């Protein structure tokens, strides 16, 4: 299987420099990855480095906690699109979800999707902090709000993706939404396991190792 086309080559560390972004984009182009994923402050520079390539630019919104205001997330989305984002990876307000503020969570996703327009919206639900029922609720809210993907993790929580997370998410969204697994995916065997479960995209900082190891 060609794993390259599943990979969002990711760099979201706080100490990321412009040189790091340049290297990330060059690697993505050289290995024909689907996209790079960066923090929103690096959108414009990443777009410049990806110029004339087929690699998409995914940008995080409300990252990594999801706890900023709805207005901030919407404005961050708009600016990211102005700066050249092709896709948005937003973090839900996890505290609101756990407080059963389902209407607020759904509204925020819907407003960000509206701001995103034709751009793909991935909704990060941070499964490590959620019960099975909360994972199901989060997926249903993302689906109702019109998002394109539901995504497991930021990679900054207490753990990354798990096969059980994917099983639960797939049961809820079926073929109505796509799924992105991220967090802790560092080898081809693990990536293939997630893809076999129905994952459409893999978020990882280990993309080169994954495609190099893939037989």
Q: Residue 132 has what pLDDT?
A: 98
The whole-model pTM stands at: 0.97
pLDDT in tens, 76-115: 999 999 999 999 999 999 999 999 999 999 999 999 999 9
pLDDT-derived band at 215 (thresholds 50, 70, 90) equals low
**CA separation, residue 50 to residues 11, 54, 114, 215 (Å):** 15, 8, 26, 28
**DSSP, residue by residue, the chain:** --GGGGEEEEE--TT--HHHHHHHHHHHHHTT-SEEEE-GGGHHHHHHHTTTSS-EEEEEESTTT--S-HHHHHHHHHHHHHTT-SEEEEEP-HHHHHTT-HHHHHHHHHHHHHHHTTSEEEEE--GGG--HHHHHHHHHHHHHTT-SEEE---SSSS----HHHHHHHHHHHTTTSEEEEESS--SHHHHHHHHHTT--EEEES-HHHHHHH--
- Given a cut of 70, whether residue 131 has pLDDT beyond it is yes
- With a pLDDT cut of 90, the percent of the chain lying above it is 98
pLDDT in tens, 28-52: 999 999 999 999 999 999 999 999 9
Active site residues: 89, 151, 180
Strand partners of residue 120: 87
Instruction: Name the residue ranges covered by the structural domains of the chain.
Output: 3-213
CATH top class, domain 3-213: alpha beta
């Amino acid at each position: 299987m060609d794993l390259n086309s599943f990979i969002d080559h990711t760099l979201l560390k706080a100490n990321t420099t412009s040189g790091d972004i340049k290297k990330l984009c060059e690697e993505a182009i050289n290995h024909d990855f689907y996209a790079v994923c960066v923090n929103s402050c690096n959108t414009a520079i990443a777009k410049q480095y990806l110029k004339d390539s087929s690699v998409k630019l995914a940008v995080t919104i409300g990252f990594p906690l999801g706890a900023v205001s709805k207005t901030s997330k919407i404005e961050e989305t708009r600016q990211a699109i102005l700066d050249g984002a092709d896709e948005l990876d937003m973090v839900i307000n996890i505290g609101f979800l756990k407080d059963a503020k389902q209407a607020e969570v759904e509204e925020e996703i819907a407003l960000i999707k509206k701001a995103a327009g034709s751009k793909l919206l991935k909704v990060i639900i941070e499964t490590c902090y959620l019960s099975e029922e909360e994972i199901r609720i989060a997926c249903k809210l993302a689906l109702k709000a019109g998002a394109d993907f539901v995504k497991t993790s930021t990679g900054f929580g207490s753990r990354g993706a798990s096969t059980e997370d994917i099983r639960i998410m797939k049961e809820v969204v079926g073929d109505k939404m796509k799924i992105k697994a991220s967090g802790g995916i560092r080898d081809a065997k693990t990536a293939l396991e997630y893809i076999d479960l129905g994952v459409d995209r893999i978020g990882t900082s280990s993309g080169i190792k994954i495609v190099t190891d893939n037989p």
